[in-house]
Chains A and B, each alone.
Chain A
Amino acid sequence: MEIDGFDAEVLESSRDKSQSQGVYIYQPTQQGKGAGERPSKRRKVASTDASEEPKNHQSFAPLLNGDENAECVQLRYDIYKQLWSVQKQKIKGILEDVDAGVLMDVLSFVRNTSPQTYDPILAKEPETSALVTVGSNVSSLSRLLSRLNDQLAATGDGGVVVLESGDAPNLKTTLKNIIRAAVTNTEGNDGYQKFLTDRAGPRLLGYDLDLLHDYVQRKGTKKLVLALRDSEAFDPGLLTDLLSLLRSWLDRIPFTVLLGISTSVELFEGRLPRSCASLLQGRHFEVQEAGNCVDRIYEALQADLTGRLWLGRNITSTLFERSSDFFQSPEAFSRMVKYAYMSHFFANPLAVLLANPASTMLPQLRICEAIRNLPSFRMFCEDLVQAGFSKEVRGLLEDDQYLLQQTSKHLDTNQQKMRRLFQVVLVIHACLQHTQSSKKTSVSDLSIRALSGELGESPIVEEMLATMKTLDSEKLMCLLNSLPRALFNDAHFSAIQHDIQTLLQTYPDSGPLRSEYNTNSSVVKTTVVQQRVRLSKGKAKLPEQDLEYTKIIDRLVAILQEYFAEILVNPQDLFLHELFLFDLRNPLKETFAPRPRFAIERALASPFDYLFSSFDVTEGKISAKQPATAILYQLYLESGALVNVHDLWQAFYAVFESDQGDSCDERVVMTLFYGALSELKAFGVVKNSRKKTDHLAKSAWMGL
């Protein structure tokens, strides 16, 4: 068999993947073990922390082409650790605060229900089940349960056994899991083994609830909460079995069932058989929605008075899109934020400046070069030149020492500006609570606008100021009081508040003062001119105090406008915003919403997007130089829902034939064809058709 050089090369390329350097198959490193050997038994090693500790020090790679010194790398890592630990504490506090209400309710419910209320004569159902609706806030239940467990364990009342649908394939395993979880909760794993063996009587079966009864008696447990985290996913038949069993043990083991429901109680109840539903009797608790919680977390992260790093507009919108459109827990939200923080410090060598390092520590040359290459540095210099400070610009460009000094100065002032920016966002949000009647704009919406520098001119703020003019004195005072305290350091604001108060004291019995913008103070006049009624609006005559009040309001609005205009700058215009504002959308998107299907389709449809090609790439054409699977996939894309295999083979062969003329070896191409077809089958894009034996059915379409 003669294979000419070209064919050999094609074969070669498909056999050994030396050409495909860009793509590789992930093979986990095996530590000296062949594939056939048994994996080494996992043994508990006393502690691996000691060996891992030094590794942490080098978890960031040196940047600036590898010229960054070790101190800077370490500093970047440390400042990241420091910033994130502060934020983590805040998030934790908020999450605990959010759950506190429901936790108290559930706890008191668990404490107060007693199975002993079951009266066999009256046959009155005891309330032994709590239904917790969690909505899309799926993770909150596990938080709630672990805290519930802590509380119950602390008082010695009992504990919580958490059961997931995966733990419950059948009744035996479920019971085993329940017993094991209940015992290990307090005794630990060894305690469970000991509990099984060190009994007086004969050894019981693992699923015998007598074990649990024994345990309950021994520990004096008063409450044993059985929590089903995802009740919907349980098999209804199993659930019925389990509940009826628990029911018959209720006089001996004080069970309380806690069901986590993500949809609605009606739906859950409708799915259960009647006999099962009749075993349950309980109360319904609702956990707060995730969206609200996420808003609070965002506010705490961004609008902090000591913040040093902020998330930019793109990231904010990505974050909120994900939390509103998908099932996402607050934890997932904070993980995304953490990733953003991490990427910033990992990949930005200038982030080291956020730590305010001593200038001697820095590799001055490199850092200064990097600063001078920032787009914001260029803008800053251009502005300086336009303002006529060319000397400073020369200094910045030539004197490294001066540049570093200026950098740290501007970093401070600009960070201050960012802090004030978010203060204004909070102020506007507080004002909107008073002026907007129906739909409330959230902090996140305002932040997105502020971060893109649009808030000052946005209709929201204009509308707010217009409404503010019409407020009467009572509402205005209420509004002013609700504003953050920091604002009143400003002399103008305190003056205004003082003026209003004196005005109110001067006219104590005039009721709430109204400004002239109020609708109540304008009068509609009707005049009949030439048999037509004409309506004309005019100002009613206002009393003295109202006129004065109007003046004050005008002043307030003017001050606010000025204040907003001063502070609401576009963060992207600030010098050094690359340091304290992280706004790269891609790392987050790629990591948290990967697109494997898209990538596979693209790789198959245009393989040279990924593969290095030694031939000149002909755009969008099938050629024999491509991998065989890709060729076949592209042919497959051209066909309808049913493909005749012979036609496919003919087309496949034609591709090679046109490329190599008569020298093409049919047998070699046939092997390639078979290999490619089986790979497509493995991808799940084709399957055998039941309608026609010699046809293939398409089961995936591109671009969905």
Chain B
Amino acid sequence: MLPADVARSLSPQWPCREVQVQQLASLLSPHIPSPPTVVVHGISATCKSTILQAVLSTLEVPHAIVRSTECITARHLLTKILWGILEALGQKDEWEKFGKGRCEHVSMLAVLLEECLAARTAEQAGKFVLVLDEIDRQREAPPTLLSALARLGEIIPSLCVVLVLSSTPRPLFLQHSAVPHISFPPYTRKDAIDIMLNTGAPVVDGLPAETSSRLYPHFVSTVYDSLVGPTVGSIPTFRSICDRLWPQFVAPVVKGETPPGGNNEWDFSRLLVKNRVLFRHQGESALVHRIVPEEAPAPGTASRTPLASTAAPSSLPSLPYFSTLILTSAYVASHTPQRLDTIFFSKFSSSSLSARNKRAHHRRRLKVLSQAQAEDRQAAAADPSTPNKRGKRSKTRITKSTLSSAFATSSATTSAIGGGAGITGPSTILTARPFPLERLLAIYHAIDPNPPANPIRVGAVADQIYAELATLRRLRLVVPASSAGAAAMSSGNTSADAGDKWCVNVSGDWIGELAKGIGVEVGEWLAGGLD
């Protein structure tokens, strides 16, 4: 079969990939000798593996496909390659001949593969293609694995190794020259729209097929231009957005509403004007994946109450009283500089007017400081080339909006150490800082909304706090701050040293809400709170 024929037979199913299909078909054709190694690369959702598989089966070349993502270690990968080939050659029952089915090194693999391919029967002889899918994502791969696998085809003449990569390869990454690369570029606008139109509009009950076919192309291109193109969405997201929005988009037609402007028929522009809100709210939420999809509202109600469906109140978890209080103290401890502890938390001057004034003064100072830091950071992030000039100017002009945005950014990121990826500068007022456990205990006593009547006679609560803290740690609301603890954390053990520092791991607004539930006002102790 000629490459052009292969392309022709595959294009109805997978359109817009004729060039790549022809390239693959000519390189892997059973009648022409293949290059020992072929690299296929392109970002995800560009149809690499599917096309490759389709071409191979159309050409009827004997082949084996090993998915690298399913292999846990390099050894696992090698073993799987061996079995894959044995299975493809129908020699599975003779596995004991070939290294007892075990393969621990690439050099071993080369020997075994050579034996396997040599043991083929006469009608099987010829070219064999080994496809290693997503080989660049292999776990625990030694650095030489890729280049070693690329040499397999040279050692064994009848073997052709196809490496499928989902990242763009660096030049000469195989330590080898003149390896043919086939690139699968992302679909262009025209391609994407063609593919979408190829499968036709989703069926909507009560919508005439003729209207559907008239409106759908316009709809698809509008969706691409407004939602998919700007966000570099892939074909699957494009399709899911279209499927979700289309029934709502044509709802006025289905329900028989009269179009505005005295016309008898809905045309695309009228529908678009009517559904502006739909694109704004539904469309944006369609781009963000949620684990639990929001209840798809009925097509009719969607256009009327789009706000209510998107702005659903996030439900707060219900923590017991004591744990909430501990979490709040942890948050306050993380977000208050230690030097101000005596001013904020001392019991001796807590109620006097001067003490309150003093606290308010420090809150304001902290607020100004945090604003300045936030501005600096924003300026640096926005414009790294000229940070000094802009940073200085903006420091003097503090507006309310910049402040609120600063606080918004701080509360949106979970601000543990290393939690906020974007914030890597020196520690600021806005990031949570680690605190020793004893400080948490002391602050707990200071902010307790129901302090014991006689503070001297009260039993120590520290032991109870430890127990609850262990639970909070399991929930990762409060985590040990030391980076060494990160390794221990993953294994799930909950032991900690007395001197270890801890850090809160949730956003502030969330804790503020929780704390209000038990009668604690977090803002009283924080920079810029209560203002």
Q: Which residues of A contact B (CB under 8 A)?
A: 120, 122-124, 129, 131, 133, 135-136, 138, 164-172, 175, 201-203, 205, 207-209, 230, 232-235, 237-238, 241, 244-245, 248-249, 262-267, 269-271, 274, 277-278, 280-284, 289, 324-328, 593-598, 601, 684-685, 687, 699-701, 703-704
Contact = CB atoms under 8 A, between A and B. Distances in A.
Given A123-B236, A324-B321, A596 B463 contact: yes
B317 A135 contact: yes
Nearest to B458: A703
Interface string B455-466: 000011111101
Contact of A202 (B95, B323, B497): B95
B72 A282 contact: no
Nearest to A122: B239
B397 to A, nearest CB: 33
A704 B289 contact: no
Given A267-B510, A598-B463, A699 B438 contact: yes
Contact of B101 (A165, A168, A202, A596): A202
A142 to B, nearest CB: 14
Given A208-B76, A266-B314, A703-B460, A230 B499 contact: no
A201 B95 contact: yes
Contacts of B498: 684-685, 699-700
Contact of B69 (A244, A328, A601): A244
B133 to A, nearest CB: 10
Contacts of B527: none
Given A166-B492, A595-B460, A123 B235 contact: yes
A175 B76 CA distance: 13
27 contacts: A123-B235, A123-B239, A123-B240, A131-B291, A136-B319, A136-B323, A166-B492, A169-B490, A169-B492, A171-B72, A171-B139, A202-B83, A208-B76, A233-B475, A241-B139, A262-B317, A263-B317, A264-B317, A271-B476, A277-B290, A277-B291, A281-B293, A282-B292, A327-B468, A327-B471, A596-B463, A700-B438
Interface string B315-359: 111111111000000000000000000000000000000000000
A175 B236 contact: no
Contact of B476 (A166, A169, A232, A685): A232
A361 to B, nearest CB: 43
A267 B506 CA distance: 8
Contact of B442 (A234, A685, A704): A704
B290 A269 contact: yes
A123 B477 CA distance: 35
A277 B289 contact: yes
B102 interface: yes
B73 interface: yes
B436 interface: yes
Contacts of A235: 489-490
A133 B76 CA distance: 37
B284 interface: no
B72 A248 contact: no
Contacts of B69: 244-245, 248
A207 B462 contact: no
Contacts of A601: 460
B5 interface: no
Contacts of A597: 460, 462-463, 466
B60 interface: no
B428 interface: no
A289 B318 CA distance: 9
Interface string B389-430: 000000000000000000000000010000000000000000
B274 interface: no
B493 A232 contact: no
Contacts of A289: 318
Interface string B87-130: 00000100110001110000000000000000000000000000
Contacts of A167: 492
A180 B144 CA distance: 33
B70 interface: yes
A336 to B, nearest CB: 15
Contacts of B438: 699-701, 704
A124 B460 contact: no
B441 interface: yes
A172 B494 CA distance: 22
B419 to A, nearest CB: 9
Q: Please classify how large the interface on chain B is, using the bins under 10, 10 to 19, 20 to 34, 35 or more.
A: 35 or more
A120 B315 contact: no
Nearest to B472: A327
A136 B514 CA distance: 14
A264 B492 contact: no
Nearest to B507: A270
A633 to B, nearest CB: 15
Contacts of A274: 289
Given A283-B292, A593-B464, A169 B491 contact: yes
A16 B235 CA distance: 79
A237 B139 CA distance: 13
Given A202-B102, A597-B463, A699-B499, A265 B292 contact: yes
Contacts of B459: 595, 598
A135 B474 contact: no
Contacts of A277: 289-291
Nearest to A244: B69
B79 interface: yes
A649 to B, nearest CB: 23
Which 7 pairs, one residue from A and one from B, show the smallest C-beta to C-beta distance? A202-B101, A684-B498, A123-B236, A165-B492, A235-B490, A704-B441, A169-B491
B67 interface: yes
Nearest to A683: B498
B463 A593 contact: yes
B363 interface: no
B57 interface: no
A326 B464 contact: yes
B327 to A, nearest CB: 10
A328 B319 CA distance: 11
Contacts of B9: none
A622 B441 CA distance: 28
A687 B499 CA distance: 8
Contacts of A244: 69
Contact of B315 (A264, A326, A596): A264
A413 to B, nearest CB: 40
Nearest to A280: B291
B445 interface: yes
Contacts of B445: 704
Interface string B63-86: 000010110110110010001000
> Most chain-B CB neighbours within 10 Å: which of A165, A245, A278?
A165
A46 B464 CA distance: 42
Contacts of A203: 101
Nearest to A235: B490
A366 to B, nearest CB: 37
A597 B441 CA distance: 13
B50 interface: yes
B462 A165 contact: no
Given A241-B139, A704-B442, 10 more contacts: A123-B235, A133-B317, A175-B72, A233-B475, A264-B314, A264-B316, A593-B464, A684-B498, A701-B441, A704-B460
Interface string B466-506: 11100100111100000000000111110001110000001
B492 A233 contact: yes
B320 A324 contact: yes
A290 to B, nearest CB: 9
B105 to A, nearest CB: 15
Nearest to B440: A704
A12 B403 CA distance: 67
Contacts of B319: 136, 263, 327
Contacts of A170: 490
A232 B475 contact: yes
Contacts of A262: 317, 475
A113 to B, nearest CB: 14
Centre residue among B72, B96, B314, B441 by max chain A CB count within 10 A = B72
A29 to B, nearest CB: 26
